[in-house]
Structure 1
Amino acid sequence: MRVLILLSFVLFSGYLNAQEIVINGVVKSKADVLPNASVQNSDTKATTVSDSLGRFSFKINNQKSLSLKVSAVGYRTFVQKITLNKDSVFQIITLEDLDEKLNEVVITGTQKEVNRLESPVPVEIYTAKFFQKNPTPSIFDALQNINGVRPQLNCNICNTGDIHINGLEGPYTMVMIDGMPIVSSLSTVYGLSGIPNALVERIEIVKGPASSLYGSEAVGGLINIITKDVSKASRLSADFMTTSYLEHNLDLGFKTKIHPNVNVLTGINYFKYGNKVDDNKDGFTDVTLQDRISVFQKWNFNRKQNRVASLAGRFLYEDRWGGEMNWSKQYRGGDEVYGESIYTKRFELLGNYQLPVKEKMFFSFSLTNHNQDSRYGTTSYIAQQNIAFSQLTWDKKINNHDLLFGTAFRYTFYDDNTPATLGLNGRNNPENTFLPGLFVQDEIKIADKQSLLLGLRYDYNSNHGSIFTPRFAYKVNFDENTIIRLNAGTGFRVVNVFTEDHAALTGAREVFIANNLKPEKTYNVNLNFLKKIYDTHSNSLTVDLSAFYTHFNNRIVADYESNINQIRYENLNGYAVSKGLTANLDLVLNFGLKLNAGVTLQDVGLIEDGLKTQQILTEKWMGTWSVSYLINALNLGIDYTGNIYGSMRLPLLGDLDPRQPTSPIWSLQNIQFVYRGFKNLEVYGGVKNLLNFKPTKNNPFIIARSNDPFDKEVAFDAGGNPLATPNNPYGLTFDPSYVYAPNQGIRGFFGIRYNLR
């Protein structure tokens, strides 16, 4: 009996000694919870990872204390000794921000992976979390909250648009996915829609010249959409959003491992808007109706010595239309009921492969096929564009020289049913453009805190001959928190009116090309100053200031005013200038408040015969902001975002046109509430366009002659100019080009976001 009692005591004592203690907690920053943070018991090396809500949990045995080590990318490592005198412990761990934006690796400025602070070219980074502060159904809409970048609508009816950087129109901006220039020409107008937001890791933006590395289109800047690394992506993600306008958007992403060395990431985006709205009572849809699906897939291959190998593809189909409220497909292309109907099919394939050699050499390529079948009233525009691009680079370091050698080749095929591809004999003559090129870049470390970058690119355009685009950059670090960068370079751009300017396709005006258009040439310079300020209370402020200047020779301009029935395209008999100042402020306060704000002052003018005019549809100044605050006790995040634009010159149809010649100061503001109290799930909702701004403000109408879209009741004089008559008192013709802001008013939105790591 005594033996049994003794044995029971020993077993019970062992149970007590082996009793498990549970460690629970939440990892957060000053403003938000932190998923994927590493939490380690330093004594036993047992490790776990925080979930999407920053929560972690693990069990330990036979320890009276432990050292807890918590780390996350972009934050200072946290280490703390914890005494264990209970059966469970709960810890809230706040990591100090290292300013991940400044320490993050960027690739766009120099085609090399480099710490942002070390890059001689200023690169702005915007993560997926930044865009979630104002959720949108496309990348095009998401860019509205970036200072100096403005999505510009070019048509009141079909709502196509392009991206302006520092006042320069979309064709001056090169848009890329994972470093491959797959969005150009036709795709400048249509290609930014349908990129699944669930697959976007971050967007890198370079404002200013980059032609020496990326070619002739990179005159005004670069937008590089970086997709997620397959190995680090979530197993499953889903984001569904709907609005009170009955816009529905679904983003799905999932990862599969089909082989020990092959991971595949798939993203699907579907957007549906089928609700006809005519709040301004002009008989036309205020917002284009759309049915769009996009499928993106990315394959990563694990190779020896961690060499890179990836392959990605995307398919986009879109059916969009706008027009008179009673339009249907039976009226497509006819003159009974006016409508603008666009069918788009687009395929993209891109890859990156590191050669199996000792040297750091990469081969990359992209293939795109874009087919468009459009009707703008009775005007038909049917076009096909194929682009094949390949590039081989060699990254070589020799002493204090960081060299990059490269060769590139681009082939473009373009065909449409307009005069753009008609030969002298009147027969169809598609464009075939070959563009081989060579480039070299040398980043020289000239002192501990100074570096110099020199670059030169040579391209041979099969239509226009040799193109030289040099580049220069200088960077000095006064200390680890103060940087000055100076960048300069040249650019060269060949214009295809019908692929770049939607107004040429509306059918409302005749397109007149005055002469053989000469290629545009530009000279650019950009000066950037960055300063990071800390205080003893863990508050921080980042100040980013830039001055920019671009000079154009042979600038090609669209003249809407000489003849209201025409759009005249010709080289400017003079020059054009884009210049200005931009400032960005990032403020992080220790009680959980984050503020990002920016302002851009710009002057974009055309100088001809000594007279200067403001570029049409270009604002003189703009501002953006986002304010975020996390209430930890309620698991509630609040985001207030917005932008504001100064006046811009608008296209009128003559002296009698009663519409405003310039736009008013206008602003789009949004508020969002995000609840994060569920595991792996976020619920969000809010209000867009809080001020209910619409471009109809102070205007009698937006679309000219919307009651007579085929000009059947317009009287013309002998010169083809419209006459003022009792039923046309202003002497106007049908024209939808007077547009500067979305027609959508205030609306609510609601969404659910799921993320399984």
Structure 2
Amino acid sequence: MSRLLIFIALMVSFSIQSLAQHRVQGKVESAQKPLEFVTIYIPELQKGTTTDENGQFVLLNIPAGKWNLEVSLLGYRKVSKTLVVPLASQDLVFVLENLDSSLDEVVVSGTLQEVSKTNSPVPVEVYKSGFFKANPTPSIFESLQNVNGVRPQVNCNVCNTGDIHINGLEGPYTMVLIDGMPIVSGLSTVYGLTGIPQSLIDRIEVVKGPASTLYGSEAVGGLINIITKRSELAPVVGSDVMVSSWGEVNADLGFKSSLGKKVQSLTGLNVFWYDRPIDNNQDGFTDVTLQKRVSLFQKLEFDRPGAKAFSLAGRYMYEDRWGGEMNWTPAFRGGDEVYGESIFTFRWELFGNYELPRVKNVNFQFSANGHHQNSVYGETFFVADQKIGFGQLTYRKEAGINNLLLGAAYRYTYYDDNTVATGGDGRQNNPSVIHLPGVFVQNELNLSPKSTVLAGVRYDYNSIHGSVVSPRLNYKLSSLDKTTILRISAGNGFRVANVFTEDHAALTGAREVVFEEELDPERSWNGNVNLVKKIYSSKGNYYSLDGTVFYTHFTNRIVPDYETNPNQIIYANLDGKAVSKGVSLNFDAALQSGLNFMAGATLMDVSLDEDGEKVRQLLTERFSGVWNIGYHIHALHLQIDYTGNVYSPMRLPLLGDLDDRPEYSPWFSIQNIQVSKKLGNWELYGGIKNLLNFTPPANSIARSFDPFDKGVEFDESGQVIPTPGNPNALTFDPTYVFAPNQGIRGFLGVRFTIQ
């Protein structure tokens, strides 16, 4: 009887517990911000609710049991969780991933003011640090190969230096900034994108088209702004070590700390080491330069009354690189026995931002950098020093529908080298000193919730070339839900050129540099139309189309002439016009299944027109495409990424009519695959680069067997004479280059992060 009573009591207790009603509550957020109107739903019970303005939700009268809870919001990846009610803990916390990670991304490059990417009247492309992890590289220079319309161009087969092309325009037309400061310019266009610790990079902003109204000289083709992490959002410790089957080692280390109660510190270290000569194409020269690079980055952010901004950052970089004949050693540096190109680079940078006290919206930004380069190219010594100081004061005022920005800037540039560029009267150097004061005004007029007009103008006075005026006009029209955005832009850009700091071809090989005239500043007019369409499907998937039509017209374009005399590079202002025009399209898709797809294509025509003759620009493709396909297996915490690019033929610099090398490069594609897995604070990754094993032809370096032209004969005018030993009238020349020489290789890496 007693056993029966106990059994009945247990059954009654279980029934009562099953019928008991429980409370389920929690919070939903994304990027550490609460999300409103998120749907919380239990399908089996047909019960649901939504989050409030604080991201909080409460579900009442939930019976005990095991239930499936779905958390969803349009534009975010759905999260499902199995709940055991009653809950073991009181509150649930859900973090949703934004399918369009750039939807409300704050950008500064287009207007010099913080604004969401969606609201910016200037089209700005934003690439978060996670984008570059799909194809990890030792430097930002290489990382940009997966950005549509942006191409890292290797300019020399021997030392592998390069620059960044935007929409077919060479590196000197692209301004590179760090935290909005013009740090990378002049000498450092070749080396400035290496050695920045990628563990400290928050995002990279890309603006295509002239930005001289806000940034002055050099921002003719566009700008790349590298934004470092804010200390409060940076991980406590972040490290990344990667090795390749070629023997390359790249290590990043970043950490944050506090110096007292009011100073936050962010420190980064990058080390790259490659010391293994390889000659797979059997031309007698290293396929890839050997490099030893160390870079140290330090950023301080100060807590001031009234939350006034004050940050100070600095970077120091040292690099030793060489390429050349396989038997080259430092003992041959600068001699004529064994050819080598050896470059020592010492570089420091200091930059910051200070918001003035006692007045509103007045900021002072400043930067300074020094660059010393000690290099030899065969027998040619090139030793140069460059120092740049920059200061900019801005004032922002909002008045009704107007958002006014006023600014005054000053830039000081000192440059000295051992070439004819600063040769003076022949007895002593005459360093170049340029003072560039300027003022600018910009007004953003919000005509309605859907339309905005941005107008601006800048006046600069160059101490050598005189006055320069740069206007611009932008118009943005969007739908009320901001899923359709039209932007129309027009602007003017200018650039003062320094051939020896910008064009490595002027130094390498045996060519003589010739200036036909005093070079005048280049000017350009640009117009582009940008249309963005975002689509959110009923199944919660996200799609985006971003198309642009662009046109840039140059006057006074400075064009190196490699073809008139194969033994010379002749520089002069173009007596005519140069045009860069085309169309680009980006397509993004983020599916609830975990599949992400990004693809882009650019079709363009970059040409020079002089005396009625139109010629395609050298080393510029007509078509380029990029893609990034990623699939995340949530159950395994496994990510698979397949990235790549493809380029159409480019016109290459030949050494004369008898040069038997192809005038155009072939179609080529560089493709990579990577698998990564997270294990708590650790992440392991590995894969294969250059899956198709594409490399340029082995004869890319002309007469690699005679780098000092000892077997070349010249006539009285300096032209090469065909001889039995040199029937094609060639000289040693490593500028016939359109792609890296590095073939297929494996890589393996590990990341460690403490948030």
Structure-1-length-normalised TM-score: 0.89
CA contact (8 A) 1:74 1:104 kept: no
Distance in structure 2 (CA, Å) of the matches to 1:743 and 1:384: 30
Call closer, same or farther: CA 1:258–1:290 in 2, change over 3 Å.
same
Task: Please tell me whether residue 436 in structure 1 is matched to residue 437 in structure 2.
Answer: yes
Q: Which residue is equivalent to 2:455?
A: 454
Q: Which residue is equivalent to 2:575?
A: 573
Q: Which residue is equivalent to 2:125?
A: 124
Q: Which residue is equivalent to 1:213?
A: 214
The offset of 1:209, in angstroms, is 1.5
Call closer, same or farther: CA 1:483–1:219 in 2, change over 3 Å.
same
CA contact (8 A) 2:75 2:536 kept: no
The offset of 1:679, in angstroms, is 1.1
Moved more, 72-81 or 293-302: 72-81
Aligned residue among 592, 597, 600 for 2:599: 597
Call closer, same or farther: CA 1:151–1:306 in 2, change over 3 Å.
same
Q: Which residue is equivalent to 1:719?
A: 717
Say which SS state the counterpart of residue 130 (structure 1) adopts: helix
Counterpart code for 1:665:
W
Q: How do 1:270-669 residues align onto structure 2 when only pairs under 5 Å count?
A: 270-424=271-425, 426-479=427-480, 480-669=482-671
The offset of 1:716, in angstroms, is 2.0
Say which SS state the counterpart of residue 672 (structure 2) adopts: strand
Say which SS state the counterpart of residue 190 (structure 2) adopts: helix
Structure-2-length-normalised TM-score: 0.90
Call closer, same or farther: CA 1:561–1:186 in 2, change over 3 Å.
same
Distance in structure 2 (CA, Å) of the matches to 1:289 and 1:355: 46
Q: How do 1:122-161 residues align onto structure 2 when only pairs under 5 Å count?
A: 122-161=123-162
Say which SS state the counterpart of residue 143 (structure 2) adopts: helix
The offset of 1:71, in angstroms, is 11
CA contact (8 A) 2:422 2:429 kept: yes
Counterpart code for 1:745:
G
CA contact (8 A) 2:374 2:382 kept: yes
Distance in structure 1 (CA, Å) of the matches to 2:576 and 2:427: 33
Say which SS state the counterpart of residue 143 (structure 1) adopts: helix
- Structure 1 residue ranges without an equivalent (≥5): 1-16, 29-33, 43-62
Q: Which residue is equivalent to 1:173?
A: 174
Call closer, same or farther: CA 1:487–1:39 in 2, change over 3 Å.
closer
The offset of 1:507, in angstroms, is 4.0
The offset of 1:702, in angstroms, is 1.1
CA contact (8 A) 1:312 1:349 kept: yes
CA contact (8 A) 1:75 1:100 kept: no
CA contact (8 A) 1:39 1:71 kept: no
Distance in structure 2 (CA, Å) of the matches to 1:638 and 1:80: 24
Residue deviations 1:299-331 (CA, integer Å, cap 9, x gap)? 011112211110000000000000000001010
Distance in structure 2 (CA, Å) of the matches to 1:75 and 1:151: 33
Distance in structure 1 (CA, Å) of the matches to 2:705 and 2:74: 59
The offset of 1:26, in angstroms, is 14
Say which SS state the counterpart of residue 656 (structure 2) adopts: coil
Pairwise CA RMSD: 2.8
* Displaced runs of 4 or more, over 4 A: 23-28, 34-40, 63-83, 86-94
Residue deviations 1:218-253 (CA, integer Å, cap 9, x gap)? 111010000000111111111000000100000000
The offset of 1:388, in angstroms, is 0.1
Distance in structure 1 (CA, Å) of the matches to 2:256 and 2:35: 24
CA contact (8 A) 2:99 2:542 kept: no
Aligned residue among 707, 710, 720 for 1:709: 707
Distance in structure 2 (CA, Å) of the matches to 1:194 and 1:107: 23
Q: Which residue is equivalent to 1:5?
A: none
CA contact (8 A) 1:138 1:192 kept: yes
CA contact (8 A) 2:99 2:590 kept: no
Counterpart code for 2:649:
S
The offset of 1:426, in angstroms, is 4.5
Counterpart code for 2:684:
V
Call closer, same or farther: CA 1:204–1:555 in 2, change over 3 Å.
same
Distance in structure 1 (CA, Å) of the matches to 2:35 and 2:460: 52
Call closer, same or farther: CA 1:69–1:349 in 2, change over 3 Å.
farther
Say which SS state the counterpart of residue 212 (structure 1) adopts: helix
Q: Which residue is equivalent to 1:58?
A: none
Moved more, 502-511 or 194-203: 502-511
The offset of 1:425, in angstroms, is 5.8
Distance in structure 2 (CA, Å) of the matches to 1:104 and 1:169: 28
Q: Which residue is equivalent to 2:245?
A: 244
The offset of 1:88, in angstroms, is 7.6
Distance in structure 1 (CA, Å) of the matches to 2:750 and 2:97: 29
Moved more, 66-75 or 215-224: 66-75
Distance in structure 2 (CA, Å) of the matches to 1:442 and 1:79: 47
Distance in structure 1 (CA, Å) of the matches to 2:300 and 2:436: 29
Distance in structure 1 (CA, Å) of the matches to 2:73 and 2:464: 52
The offset of 1:590, in angstroms, is 1.6
Work out the number of aligned pairs and report it: 708
CA contact (8 A) 1:37 1:70 kept: no
Moved more, 626-635 or 72-81: 72-81
Residue deviations 1:683-714 (CA, integer Å, cap 9, x gap)? 00000000000011xxx611111111001111
CA contact (8 A) 2:723 2:729 kept: yes
Distance in structure 1 (CA, Å) of the matches to 2:147 and 2:111: 22
Q: Which residue is equivalent to 2:164?
A: 163
Say which SS state the counterpart of residue 479 (structure 2) adopts: strand
Call closer, same or farther: CA 1:459–1:94 in 2, change over 3 Å.
closer
Residue deviations 1:391-439 (CA, integer Å, cap 9, x gap)? 0000100111100000000000000000000224653100110000000
Call closer, same or farther: CA 1:26–1:162 in 2, change over 3 Å.
farther
CA contact (8 A) 1:74 1:103 kept: no
Distance in structure 1 (CA, Å) of the matches to 2:33 and 2:446: 35
Distance in structure 1 (CA, Å) of the matches to 2:26 and 2:87: 15
Call closer, same or farther: CA 1:684–1:92 in 2, change over 3 Å.
farther
Distance in structure 1 (CA, Å) of the matches to 2:592 and 2:444: 38
Q: Which residue is equivalent to 1:184?
A: 185
Counterpart code for 1:336:
E
Counterpart code for 2:536:
Y
Distance in structure 2 (CA, Å) of the matches to 1:287 and 1:485: 42
Residue deviations 1:340-361 (CA, integer Å, cap 9, x gap)? 0000000000010111124211
The offset of 1:508, in angstroms, is 1.7
Q: Which residue is equivalent to 1:754?
A: 752
The offset of 1:35, in angstroms, is 8.3
CA contact (8 A) 1:74 1:100 kept: no
CA contact (8 A) 2:171 2:189 kept: yes
Distance in structure 1 (CA, Å) of the matches to 2:622 and 2:321: 32
CA contact (8 A) 2:75 2:542 kept: no
Distance in structure 2 (CA, Å) of the matches to 1:573 and 1:96: 54
Distance in structure 2 (CA, Å) of the matches to 1:127 and 1:562: 45
- Structure 2 residue ranges without an equivalent (≥5): 1-16, 39-62
Q: Which residue is equivalent to 1:3?
A: none
Q: Which residue is equivalent to 2:44?
A: none
Residue deviations 1:136-192 (CA, integer Å, cap 9, x gap)? 000000000000000000000000000000000011110000000010010111111
Call closer, same or farther: CA 1:328–1:522 in 2, change over 3 Å.
same
Distance in structure 1 (CA, Å) of the matches to 2:26 and 2:689: 35
The offset of 1:102, in angstroms, is 2.1
The offset of 1:727, in angstroms, is 2.1
Q: Which residue is equivalent to 2:54?
A: none
Residue deviations 1:52-99 (CA, integer Å, cap 9, x gap)? xxxxxxxxxxx9899999999995998999663365899895736362
Distance in structure 2 (CA, Å) of the matches to 1:466 and 1:206: 25
Call closer, same or farther: CA 1:24–1:501 in 2, change over 3 Å.
farther
CA contact (8 A) 2:509 2:732 kept: no
